Chain A
Amino acid sequence: MSQPIRNAVTLNIDGREVTAPEGTMLVDAAKHGDIEIPVFCYEPKLGEPVGACRMCLVEIEGIPKLQTACSTPIRDGMTVYTQTDRVKGAQNAVVEFLLINHPLDCPVCDKGGECPLQDIAMGWGPGKSRFTDPKRHFQKPLPLSPLVAIDRERCILCYRCVRFSQEISEDEQLVLHERGDRSFVGTFDDRPYIAPFHGNITELCPVGALTSYTYRFRARPWDIEDAGSVCTLCPSQCNVKFTVRDERALRVLARDNEDVDDGWLCDKGRYSFQMLASEERITEPMVRAGDGTLAPVSWEEAISKVAAGLRDAGTASAVLAGGGTSNEEGWLLQRLLREGLSSPNIDSSASGARADLVRELSSPALGSRMRELDYADAILVLDTEPLNEMPILDLRIRKAVRRTGAQLLVASEHPSSLDGGAAEAVRFAPGEAAELIGALAAALGAPGYEDDGPHAEKAKAIAELLRTGPDPVIVWGERLFRTPGAVEALLACAKALGIDKRLGPGLLEVPESANGRGLREVGCLPGAGPGLAPTQTGAAASGIRDGMVNGEIKALLLSEADPVRTHPGSEAWRKALASTFVVSIAMFDDPSTAYANVVLPAESHAEKEGTVTHPDGRLQRVRPNVPRPGQIRPTCQVLTDLAATLGQTWDLPDQPAVLAAMTDDVDFYAGISDETIGGQGVRWQELASGRSWGPAVGGRTDNQGDPPPASAGSGLLLGTYRDLWASEVTERNPALRFLKRGQMLEIAPKDAETMGLENGDGVRVSVNGTSVEARVAIRTRMEAGVGFLAEGLAENNGNALVNGAGTRIEVEKTAPAAEFEAAGMGQKATVLSLEGEAAAR
């Protein structure tokens, strides 16, 4: 189904002629005529109106009863009155009713000053109450979750939070208990509301009933400032605004952008502002002294040390850019490396993405906008778990399934939280992505693909549903690059579906890092320069690692990257980093800075000025909201200074200058400036420069992924996945620490039975002598013969065991579940991490 075309409808509201698109609700149409109709329960983000609060009653000519403007679609020639005595009477009545049980504690309420109930009571209320009886009372405030407090006396029962939980995040934890004026919002059995998006309810609440513990009593609306930025903690790149008081960020709010985030934030993005002003931040340059400790130095000294180290390494230098790196920084990094040091060794992810395939996939004809998901007939989620890797995408997919009835198809190694709502969910073993997608290509009739192998049946089922309508969207994980042949097969599927021939639907990649797409497009990819132009092929991440170990690479610059934690082969990375000159631009000490010779402080996304590129090609601005702490300098400036020390004079004094130079260099970014990006971002595909896209001609590059099976033992095949909370962010923000999770070995019930393991048992999982400790979690929707570990944990990181595809693990039981229970470390430890499975119903 394509995006519907909506005709203009003209109606009369309060004597003004108002024109709005058909299907618009009266309350929204009124805004076109500068008429405000007050609402409490209406929130279009939550889906269909419910008409519960009755605040928006208006008079419509020809209809005897007053109607709710939130639920009445406009019609041509309609005559509406919002100011008559009758309407005013109804508005007064509703405000009076709402206030009879609402405490008048505005002076101590966090919502005071930014409260819709206050505003509407002032604007549309009777100004006084005739209610003289006792108000209803509840115990207050109570923790609804470790992060959100609930004050039930303030609640006006608008249902927004309950609807969010039931119909948006679909965690289905919030419900309304009791009925009538005894109704109250809560969870079953008063359990804590723990779900990855639950912070949104504090923003939805039109009164002070739901407040964040991180913001309660910290500031009043008249002593704060709001400023916008983009969250760069994951590829969702949600539009946010920071609430700043006294130069400190105290809160993160959503900045609605339907093209990006639909106005939602995940809890990781919402509560991660605490780390910005953390005492643990690296705020000055540091150099490792002879005794092995890092000591603060001046910027000049640090930069000359870095320059000396890089100059010594020369063409044997390398750069790894992490997801927080902006486009400008990425572009300067590759320029520093390629022009200043004549080295081709730069990469921005662990996937080993191939330059020629990336170029082909970047074609505007193949890509899909985020918004396209709302109109997709079918959505195939291919080897990615949006909840973990791009959380907001999870909500967007659920929305498509719930509201427009898109067919959801899931094909992944690891069980997905989307399985429950899927028309078809299939599993394949780690490393088999190419076979499965190949089978799908065959089922779709792509030339050169034939299959009657084990995946043929699953593939046929998916192919059939993908074809139910003309507009399928395929959401795929960058992880596919790790399996040779998988992305080629994906391209064949896209062509067989004719995706390149229709406007709109297409492929949407979930990159492994926040600015993964932008970094590649500005040239942080081996074999592809700015604008994905073919260039000399260098080493990819795994090649850099191996090169460092065997002496071919002598210096590494890490930009907001922590390969020990996030890249496969933690031990190998440790060895590599220990044996060379390492510079790390980082916000915090991490396992990789532990090996750095020079550490430079990095800016956070609340301090940085720059641009990032959303996975659908939308350039967005990251903007400074708070001052940089300590000695921190803009990374762009640091890189320019470094280049100068290395003899390169760039004349790029500030971010706009770097952006201008970069857009000159990246041909399809041509003409983009901070102004064209604006507050909502701009997709390069939709600009003149993007429409003239022609695939760059370039030779095939070799796959840079990890080599195929190193060992083929008898144990379970190892699979790894990224977990939302398995990241440094969870540890650096006190509010999120309760979500820090332990390692779990996820296995199928059949394997658990053969191995004599039960849920919660302690196990040691080993590969060639390296081992991690984990607890057993039995999962039903898994292939037998596979064991899954999470990547990116601070301890017992699954990455420690990854050794190329086809790694097999030995599992040894260390302690029965009962022992953990006795020590108070029972089910709770696993319950938190299994929420994804629960959310899948």
Chain B
Amino acid sequence: MAAETRILFRNIDEPGLASIRTYRRLGGYEAVKKAYQEMEPEQVLHELEESGLRGRGGAGFSMGKKASFLPRGDMDKYLCCNADESEPGAFKDRELMQKNPHQLIEGIIIAARAAGANRCFIFIRGEYDLQGDILDAAVEEAYGAGYLGTDVLGTGQQVKLVVHRGAGAYICGEETALLDSLEGKRGNPRLKPPFPAVQGLYGGPTLINNVETLSNAPHIISSGAEWFKSFGTEQSPGTKVVSVSGDVQRPGNYEVELGVPTKLLINDLAGGPPKGHKVKGFFPGGSSSPVLTGDEGMKLPYSFEAMQEAGSMLGSGSIIVFDETTSVVDLALRTARFYHHESCGKCTPCREGTNWTVKMLERLTRGEATPMDIEVIASVQENIIGHCLCVLGDSMAMPIGAMVKKYRSEFDDKLISQSYSAAAKAA
């Protein structure tokens, strides 16, 4: 497809890409050789920092900068690949791991060099059973080929990699909860600071990166930061694998340069809404991003900065489209229920706020809410935002808050007075 710019997806449909033989035949594991045999760790780190690669997991923080926060010195350092892709709407990491596991492993080995990490983990969500099996096999191959182990490529460097399967909690995708879970504890977010870069897994310095972020590393090392920056925008360099789902004709993952028009993603690549329907709105970055209406969102370029400017976020890069057949109140309830179900319960605003919001929205969908309830729904979202221990509470409050604000009339239509008048009309 012409509009796509494939870097991570370059050979994605090559049969047998998951095997080390095919991956190497297509030029794989050359970057790792370069990073370990021709470059010093500082150079690798510099290259990653220079590329401006921003985290693809949701926060969009510079990957190289994050790696540079790890203290220098001789101690056990950890690298965790966050493969707990649980955000509704996101399924890009699944495809990357399933079809090209070695690209990720190579990225991990390179990032380990940059961060000085010697123990690495892939924390993959338990439901990704097939992908977990594929990774297990790929990791074994990489050990066998000498890319992993106590002596990487004969350099004397140690990089060990373990694939760990999560037990099915959305919260474990939050980086500190991931660490607790990995340590065998209840997966609850930790207080920050200390940040994982200083005190992470088992109290050691830890770099945590998303699957897609790490998968970019081999390409940056082989072709250089300048090459990488030639894609995308100034503040959002590179390409992005975008999961498009919802009311579109061709849902799926599409790799595009950051900054392409959102319209291109939704209408051209994903085929737009079913014939005769129009885009009522969409989540630009997974279910936790504030919704944009079709009118305001379609014309925006798909980049970190543009989405932020529009009051939303690029997040994990997952677009969920809804057309005019979707009730926003139902959508709000569905969204709130997810976060209520997944709230870990550690901090008060998220635990109680998600529960309260669900109860109010349920009342609203039953036609039992009063006008004050809508004010309370909006106010509760405001009381959650910025008051929680981690971002899960905000992840519900931001989209719900945006829905109430942008589609207020739909909420008003569900009020008790409306259902009375509807009943009166019918009678």
Chain A residues near B (Cβ < 8 Å): 48-55, 57, 65-66, 68, 71, 89-90, 93-94, 96-98, 100-101, 130-131, 133-134, 136, 156-157, 159, 175-176, 178-183
- Report A172 CB to chain B, min CB distance, Å: 11
Given A133-B359, A157-B351, A176-B186, do A181 and B343 touch, yes or no (CB 8 Å)?
Answer: yes
Size bin of chain B's contact surface = 20 to 34
Assess whether B389 is in contact with A52, with CB atoms less than 8 Å apart: yes
Which residues of A sit under 8 angstroms from B344, Cβ to Cβ? Answer: 179-180
Assess whether A182 is in contact with B345, with CB atoms less than 8 Å apart: yes
For B169, B341, B352, the residue with the greatest tally of chain A CB atoms inside 10 Å of its CB is B352
A98 to B355, alpha carbons, bound, how many Å? 12
B277: Cβ under 8 A from any A Cβ: no
Residue of A nearest to B344 (CB): A179
Assess whether B191 is in contact with A51, with CB atoms less than 8 Å apart: yes
Which residues of A sit under 8 angstroms from B341, Cβ to Cβ? Answer: 180
A133 to B355, alpha carbons, bound, how many Å? 10
Assess whether A54 is in contact with B389, with CB atoms less than 8 Å apart: yes
A68 to B376, alpha carbons, bound, how many Å? 25
Which residues of B sit under 8 angstroms from A134, Cβ to Cβ? Answer: 359
- Looking at B121-129, B135-143, B319-327, B380-388, the stretch in contact with chain A turns out to be B380-388
Given A49-B191, A180-B342, do A96 and B383 touch, yes or no (CB 8 Å)?
Answer: yes
Assess whether B340 is in contact with A181, with CB atoms less than 8 Å apart: yes
Assess whether B352 is in contact with A98, with CB atoms less than 8 Å apart: yes
B22: Cβ under 8 A from any A Cβ: no
Which residues of B sit under 8 angstroms from A156, Cβ to Cβ? Answer: 348
Assess whether A54 is in contact with B347, with CB atoms less than 8 Å apart: yes
Chain B residues near A (Cβ < 8 Å): 169, 171, 186, 191, 340-349, 351-356, 359-360, 363, 372, 376, 379, 383-384, 386-389
Assess whether B387 is in contact with A94, with CB atoms less than 8 Å apart: yes
Residue of A nearest to B356 (CB): A100
A206 to B75, alpha carbons, bound, how many Å? 41
Which residues of B sit under 8 angstroms from A159, Cβ to Cβ? Answer: 346
- Report B185 CB to chain A, min CB distance, Å: 9
- Report A179 CB to chain B, min CB distance, Å: 5
**A97: which of B346, B352, B372 is its contact (CB, 8 Å)?**
B352
A54 to B389, alpha carbons, bound, how many Å? 8
A110 to B25, alpha carbons, bound, how many Å? 73
Which residues of A sit under 8 angstroms from B340, Cβ to Cβ? Answer: 180-181
For A53, A55, A68, A97, the residue with the greatest tally of chain B CB atoms inside 10 Å of its CB is A97
A82 to B169, alpha carbons, bound, how many Å? 35
Assess whether B352 is in contact with A51, with CB atoms less than 8 Å apart: no
Which residues of A sit under 8 angstroms from B376, Cβ to Cβ? Answer: 130
Residue of A nearest to B362 (CB): A133
A selection of 8 A-B contacts at a CB cut-off of 8 Å is A52-B346, A54-B388, A57-B387, A94-B349, A100-B355, A133-B359, A134-B359, A156-B348
Which residues of A sit under 8 angstroms from B388, Cβ to Cβ? Answer: 54
A68 to B191, alpha carbons, bound, how many Å? 10
Which residues of B sit under 8 angstroms from A94, Cβ to Cβ? Answer: 348-349, 387
- Report A88 CB to chain B, min CB distance, Å: 12
A371 to B341, alpha carbons, bound, how many Å? 45
For B171, B360, B387, the residue with the greatest tally of chain A CB atoms inside 10 Å of its CB is B387
Which residues of A sit under 8 angstroms from B384, Cβ to Cβ? Answer: 93
A89 to B191, alpha carbons, bound, how many Å? 22
Assess whether A93 is in contact with B386, with CB atoms less than 8 Å apart: no
In the complex, besides A54-B349, A181-B354, 19 extra interface pairs with C-beta distance below 8 angstroms are: A48-B191, A50-B191, A50-B346, A51-B389, A66-B387, A89-B383, A90-B383, A93-B387, A96-B383, A97-B351, A97-B383, A98-B352, A101-B352, A136-B355, A156-B348, A176-B345, A180-B343, A181-B343, A183-B345
Which residues of A sit under 8 angstroms from B171, Cβ to Cβ? Answer: 179
Residue of A nearest to B354 (CB): A180
- Report B416 CB to chain A, min CB distance, Å: 12
Which residues of B sit under 8 angstroms from A98, Cβ to Cβ? Answer: 348, 352
Which residues of A sit under 8 angstroms from B360, Cβ to Cβ? Answer: 133
Assess whether B386 is in contact with A65, with CB atoms less than 8 Å apart: yes
Which residues of B sit under 8 angstroms from A68, Cβ to Cβ? Answer: 191
Residue of B nearest to A183 (CB): B345
Assess whether B345 is in contact with A181, with CB atoms less than 8 Å apart: yes
Residue of B nearest to A178 (CB): B345
- Report B126 CB to chain A, min CB distance, Å: 15
A93 to B353, alpha carbons, bound, how many Å? 10
**B345: which of A55, A90, A97, A180 is its contact (CB, 8 Å)?**
A180
- Report B36 CB to chain A, min CB distance, Å: 34
The binding surface of chain A is classed by DSSP as loop
- Report A82 CB to chain B, min CB distance, Å: 15
Which residues of A sit under 8 angstroms from B343, Cβ to Cβ? Answer: 179-181
For B348, B349, B379, the residue with the greatest tally of chain A CB atoms inside 10 Å of its CB is B348
Assess whether B169 is in contact with A133, with CB atoms less than 8 Å apart: no
Residue of B nearest to A72 (CB): B193
Total A-B contacts with CB atoms under 8 angstroms apart: 96
Which residues of B sit under 8 angstroms from A48, Cβ to Cβ? Answer: 191
- Report B379 CB to chain A, min CB distance, Å: 8
A179 to B181, alpha carbons, bound, how many Å? 14
Given A179-B169, A179-B344, A180-B343, do A97 and B389 touch, yes or no (CB 8 Å)?
Answer: no
A156 to B356, alpha carbons, bound, how many Å? 15
Given A98-B352, A180-B354, do A54 and B345 touch, yes or no (CB 8 Å)?
Answer: no
Assess whether A97 is in contact with B353, with CB atoms less than 8 Å apart: yes
Assess whether B347 is in contact with A131, with CB atoms less than 8 Å apart: no
Given A66-B387, A90-B387, A133-B359, do A53 and B345 touch, yes or no (CB 8 Å)?
Answer: no
Which residues of A sit under 8 angstroms from B353, Cβ to Cβ? Answer: 97
Which residues of B sit under 8 angstroms from A130, Cβ to Cβ? Answer: 372, 376, 379
Which residues of A sit under 8 angstroms from B352, Cβ to Cβ? Answer: 97-98, 100-101, 181
A485 to B343, alpha carbons, bound, how many Å? 62
For B169, B356, B376, the residue with the greatest tally of chain A CB atoms inside 10 Å of its CB is B356
Which residues of B sit under 8 angstroms from A65, Cβ to Cβ? Answer: 386
Assess whether A53 is in contact with B386, with CB atoms less than 8 Å apart: no
A179 to B384, alpha carbons, bound, how many Å? 18
- Report A25 CB to chain B, min CB distance, Å: 12
Which residues of A sit under 8 angstroms from B356, Cβ to Cβ? Answer: 97, 100, 131, 133
Which residues of B sit under 8 angstroms from A49, Cβ to Cβ? Answer: 191
A231 to B157, alpha carbons, bound, how many Å? 59
Assess whether B387 is in contact with A181, with CB atoms less than 8 Å apart: no
A719 to B346, alpha carbons, bound, how many Å? 48
A503 to B7, alpha carbons, bound, how many Å? 65
- Report B76 CB to chain A, min CB distance, Å: 15
**A180: which of B351, B386, B387 is its contact (CB, 8 Å)?**
B351
Which residues of A sit under 8 angstroms from B355, Cβ to Cβ? Answer: 100-101, 136, 180-181
Which residues of A sit under 8 angstroms from B347, Cβ to Cβ? Answer: 51-54
Residue of A nearest to B389 (CB): A51
Residue of B nearest to A95 (CB): B348
Given A97-B383, A133-B363, do A179 and B345 touch, yes or no (CB 8 Å)?
Answer: yes
- Report A126 CB to chain B, min CB distance, Å: 10
Residue of A nearest to B169 (CB): A179
A159 to B386, alpha carbons, bound, how many Å? 22
- Report B404 CB to chain A, min CB distance, Å: 15
Which residues of B sit under 8 angstroms from A51, Cβ to Cβ? Answer: 191, 347, 389
- Report A513 CB to chain B, min CB distance, Å: 41
A52 to B347, alpha carbons, bound, how many Å? 4
Residue of B nearest to A55 (CB): B348
Which residues of B sit under 8 angstroms from A157, Cβ to Cβ? Answer: 345-346, 348, 351
- Report B375 CB to chain A, min CB distance, Å: 9
For A54, A66, A71, A98, the residue with the greatest tally of chain B CB atoms inside 10 Å of its CB is A54
User: What 7 A-B pairs have minimum CB-CB distances, sorted nearest first?
Assistant: A93-B383, A97-B352, A183-B345, A180-B343, A133-B359, A181-B355, A51-B191
Which residues of B sit under 8 angstroms from A100, Cβ to Cβ? Answer: 352, 355-356
Residue of B nearest to A65 (CB): B386
Which residues of B sit under 8 angstroms from A178, Cβ to Cβ? Answer: 345
A157 to B347, alpha carbons, bound, how many Å? 8
Which residues of A sit under 8 angstroms from B387, Cβ to Cβ? Answer: 54, 57, 66, 90, 93-94
Which residues of B sit under 8 angstroms from A50, Cβ to Cβ? Answer: 191, 346
Which residues of B sit under 8 angstroms from A176, Cβ to Cβ? Answer: 186, 345
Which residues of B sit under 8 angstroms from A71, Cβ to Cβ? Answer: 191
